[in-house]
Amino acid sequence: MSRLQYTLWRLIGIVPVMVLITTFAFFLMRAAPGGPFDKEKALPPEIEKNIRAKYHLDDPLIVQYGRYLFSVMRGDLGPSFKYPNRTVNEIIVESFPVSLKLGLLAMCFALFFGLSAGVISALKQNRWQDYTFMGFALFGVSVPNIVLGPLLVLIFGLWLGWLPVAGWESPVDAVLPTITLGAIYVAYISRISRAGILEVLGQDYVTVARAKGLPQRIVVFRHILRGGLLPVVSFLGPAFASILTGSIVVEKIFHIPGLGQHFVQAALNRDYTLAMGTVIFYALILILLNLVVDLLYTFLDPRVRYE
Amino acid sequence: MRSIQKWMPVELVMADSLLVVDRLKSYIYTRYGVVRAVNDVSFELAEGDTLGIVGESGSGKSMTCMSILGLLPQPFGKMVAGRIRFRNEDLHTQSSRQMQQIRGKEIGMVFQDPMTSLNPFLTVGTQLTEGYVVHQQVAKQEAWQHAIDMLDKVGIPEAEKRMLSYPHELSGGMRQRVMIAIALMCSPALLIADEPTSALDVTIQAQILELLKSLQRQMKMSIILITHDLGIVAATCKQVIVMYAGRVMEAGSVDDIFYRPKHPYTIGLLQSVPSLEADREKPLQPIDGNPPDLMADIQGCPFHPRCAYGDAACLQEFPQQRTATTGHSFYCCKDVE
């Protein structure tokens, strides 16, 4: 099978998965108690009836499901129930770039520091560099961003006054959210890359490379890193997806107008279409990123075949 | 006076031995204790000769060769005593940069398992040429052409096409040929072959050994052949050392070792090998027991617990070197025929 055929196959495979996810999202959302138009003060029955009719909420559930599935398949995620006159598509198009930018920043931050720490730790195994970095990594994995964020705000925003505590206007606003969001991935990536490299270090072909009299630089970059960092690549797809979805908390802490904010609000407000739309959108991103990683693998590891 | 020495012809300065290993000790410092992997090993190798190092797994054969290349497992392995002289230069005093110049260029090495010794992520061509480019300071195209010639030489068909193959696309025998080609790229003076055929089928084994022999004639190199297979030694080597528990038990010419063995361990090894001439009804004689734990402090002769001739005298100290004939020495206090 050629690479193109393989890619096409995988793309076709996305359709049934998306149908399943849409189905789950739809029924789970409806299974949650309450509805989009519940207020503390109940609406007069006739007004509520009108609203429900407008959004077709008075149809049988299975009809609503069919209609929703059909419109999702055409790429239309429907109107928001809470933001009148705005569609879910519009909201995603407007707010996702903010989340994406934050996610990319966090990812670059995580890759740079995670890889450096992991590579150095592995090459200096069981020496002080290793212990220091892995100590930090353990710290990074253990502290959730819901703790780290406010802590950083407290230290750098309030006590030292170096960085803004919240907002999303100037580039310095991005510093603390990026660190908060990326810290745990710095930790993960450093641990994964360290383990991967240590495994390669024990391989015969690394000894062979040394026996060829190659300079250390070539041994490390050509022979050790290539195989040692493959596990990081397979981690990156899911990691990036969860950085994008994980920014929910960070966006909340730092008041960043990203998609995560809308997701949380939509779930709390029972804004059915927005919540489902966000879930479906995130799912699609996760699937696509995994596909990208698998394709990347075929370039990086010649042993991988398309089957 | 220094300047005079500098101008002396190289031949006069050089002794006739290419490699002299003198009372080498290499230890591995593990978390659980010190492994005396190589314990007082000495041997010499003349230019163009083949030396066989025989012994069971863990007898220190490979570690001896890794010491020569300066590739003991880091950071736990260390050469603690002895001298290794290669072309009259002490390898142990060389800087790591100088060792890089020697590895791959002057001393080539073929490893045991061709399935794991090639980098799965790189093409055969890259793995062949990278050392040559570094050592000979040539352009990549030139190295590429040389590599194709080398693949031809080791008997790989369609060499040009194979250069672009990845290791997983080749069979085990082909991979070992590639490994040999890699080791020979820079025409080294010494080739260390660590069990080069142990992972291969018997028919392929014979081909690879023939190949090594013919390449040795063509390129006039010395070979150290590490093996546990006495048949291979008999077929290829001129000199043999028999190792056990990190020590040399017996050393001599192939004829000395096979026809006039002096050490009970060597005798035991020979008796445990099937042969065409031997009486078919007579069962093979295994050597009972297991090799000793090299982390333990071994008193006297390490072979003593498994030796048919061992007695209290063997526990006193490691036996002195004894000479049977010129060039044939052994380490045993008993007279065994």
We report the CATH number of the domain holding residue B262 as 3.40.50.300
Nearest CA to A139 out of A194, A178, A188, A177 is that of A188
Distance from CA of A133 to the nearest CA of B (A): 19
Residue B222 lies in domain:
14-106+186-330
Q: How far is Cα B64 from Cα B50, in angstroms, rounded to an integer?
A: 16
Ordered by where they begin, the domains of chain A are: 1-307 (1.10.3720.10)
Q: How far is Cα A260 from Cα A251, in angstroms, rounded to an integer?
A: 7
Distance from CA of A213 to the nearest CA of B (A): 4
Residue in this structure with the two tokens 């392929």, named with its chain if needed: B204
DSSP H or E stretch at residue B193: strand B190-194
Locate A196 and state its tokens: 């991967």
Say whether residue B109 is in contact with chain A using an 8 A CB cutoff. yes
In a domain, B52, yes or no: yes
* Nearest-CB residue to A213 (from B100, B117, B119): B100
In a domain, B63, yes or no: yes
In a domain, B49, yes or no: yes
Work out the mean pLDDT of chain B and round it to a whole number: 85
Q: How far is Cα B186 from Cα B330, in angstroms, rounded to an integer?
A: 36
In a domain, B42, yes or no: yes
Is pLDDT above 70 for A112? yes
In a domain, B131, yes or no: no
Distance from CA of A69 to the nearest CA of B (A): 44
Nearest CA to B107 out of B123, B91, B129 is that of B91
Q: How many domains would you assign to chain B?
A: 1
Q: Please give the residue that has the higher pLDDT: either A209 or B73.
A: A209
CA B224 centroid distance within chain = 4
Q: Under an 8 A CB cutoff, do B116 and A205 touch?
A: yes
Q: pLDDT at position A40, please? A: 64
- Give the tens place of pLDDT for each residue, B66-106: 999 988 887 788 888 888 999 888 887 888 888 888 998 99
**A302 contacts in chain B (CB < 8 Å):** 120-121, 166, 168
Is pLDDT above 50 for A264? yes
Q: pLDDT at position B56, please? A: 85
Q: How far is Cα A124 from Cα B322, in angstroms, rounded to an integer?
A: 46
Is the peptide bond between B291 and the residue preceding it cis, with omega within 30 degrees of 0? no
| Burial of A64 from C-beta contacts in 10 A (0-12 / 13-18 / 19+) | middle
The long-range contacts involving A119-122, CB below 8 angstroms and separated by at least 24 positions, are A119/A193, A119/A194, A119/A197, A119/A225, A121/A190, A121/A194, A122/A193, A122/A194, A122/A195, A122/A196, A122/A197, A122/A198, A122/A201, A122/A228
In a domain, B56, yes or no: yes
In a domain, B86, yes or no: yes
> Whole-model pTM?
0.77
Q: Please give the residue that has the higher pLDDT: either B237 or B285.
A: B237
In a domain, B173, yes or no: no
Q: pLDDT at position B7, please? A: 44
Q: CB-hemisphere CA count at 13 Å for A171?
A: 1
**Above pLDDT 70, what percent of chain B?**
93
Least confident of A14-18, A79-83, B194-198: A79-83
**B125 contacts in chain A (CB < 8 Å):** none
- Give the tens place of pLDDT for each residue, B183-215: 989 989 999 999 888 877 788 788 888 888 888
